[in-house]
């Protein structure tokens, strides 16, 4: 009995002297994979950054583009009625183009943003392309004609609202004037944001446009 008690005491002392177990935490989610659903019907569009290039699958189409074969990337801001904060990257290679969106369809009435995942993936894609010595064209915003059309619409609507507001003030239609002011504020917030963010131009691998990333 005494021997058993001594052995128990020794085991207890050894246990107390042993270093505590290291607590392991799961690593941060990888930025080399990204997926989104462009619609409720159909499979998700999946992308992966591999050592050999950008691997992608969209429906029944798939491919793997070496980073040096990617000819252009266009970053833009593309809000829609279901999601006013949506960003898009168009990637081109050998005459083909794939679109990567920052939102995904969840339900019939819900389009969910994936801001952090999208930003991390796009940033990592640029980093790998730069590392491979890519000479791709890096384009920001929409095309010049689309941008010019947006500016023209914004200017025309602004002139029209200003004229209606002046008329409302002269005729004493103050409620109508307040409505016009509210409409103008909403229109400027939506269309104005599109115009400001999507100014055409170019960028570099070391200076990605923050206004075109969530």
- Alpha-carbon span 113 to 33, nearest angstrom: 16
Mean pLDDT of the chain, nearest integer: 82
Q: What is the mean pLDDT of residues 52-71?
A: 94
Instruction: Say if residue 210 is exposed, middle or buried (CB neighbours under 10 Å; 0-12, 13-18, 19+).
Output: exposed
**Helical spans, DSSP H, in the chain:** 2-17, 115-131, 144-171, 174-187, 193-197
Q: CA angle 55-75-118, nearest 5°?
A: 55
Tens-digit pLDDT profile for residues 17-27: 444 433 333 33
Q: State percent of the chain over pLDDT 70.
A: 83
The helices-and-strands tally (H runs, E runs) of the chain is 5, 11
- CB-CB contact of 85 with 77 (8 Å): no
Q: What is the mean pLDDT of residues 53-67?
A: 93
Return the pLDDT at 153.
Answer: 78
Rg (CA), the chain: 27
Return the pLDDT at 163.
Answer: 82
164-177 per-residue burial string, b: 16 or more CB within 10 A, e: under 16: bbeebeeeeeeeeb
C-alpha distance from residue 148 to each of 76, 144, 155, 161, 199 (Å): 15, 6, 11, 20, 10
Q: What is the pTM of this model?
A: 0.73
Q: What is the mean pLDDT of residues 9-14?
A: 49
Return the pLDDT at 147.
Answer: 83
Strand, helix or coil for residue 210: helix
Return the pLDDT at 111.
Answer: 81
Q: Residue 204 has what DSSP assignment?
A: B
- Alpha-carbon span 162 to 146, nearest angstrom: 24
- CB-CB contact of 142 with 198 (8 Å): yes
Q: Which tokens sit at 14?
A: 């050894």
- Alpha-carbon span 145 to 166, nearest angstrom: 32
């Amino acid at each position: 009995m005494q021997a058993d008690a001594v052995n128990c005491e020794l085991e207890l002392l050894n246990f107390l002297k042993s270093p505590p177990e290291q607590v392991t935490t799961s690593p941060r989610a990888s930025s080399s994979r990204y997926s989104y659903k462009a619609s409720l019907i159909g499979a998700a569009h999946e992308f992966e950054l591999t050592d050999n290039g950008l691997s992608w699958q969209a429906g029944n189409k798939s491919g793997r583009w070496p980073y040096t074969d990617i000819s252009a990337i266009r970053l833009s801001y593309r809000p829609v009625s279901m999601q006013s904060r949506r960003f898009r990257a168009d990637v081109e290679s050998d005459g083909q183009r794939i679109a990567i969106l920052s939102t995904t369809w969840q339900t019939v009435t819900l389009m969910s943003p994936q801001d952090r995942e999208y930003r991390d993936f796009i940033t990592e894609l640029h980093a790998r392309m730069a590392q491979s010595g890519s000479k791709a064209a890096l384009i920001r915003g929409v095309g010049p004609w689309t941008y010019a059309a947006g500016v023209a619409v914004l200017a025309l609507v602004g002139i029209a609202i200003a004229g209606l507001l002046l008329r409302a003030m002269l005729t004493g239609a103050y409620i109508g004037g307040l409505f016009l002011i509210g409409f103008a504020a909403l229109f400027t917030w939506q269309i104005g944001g599109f115009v400001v963010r999507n100014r055409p131009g170019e960028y570099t691998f070391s200076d990605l446009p923050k206004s075109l990333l969530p």
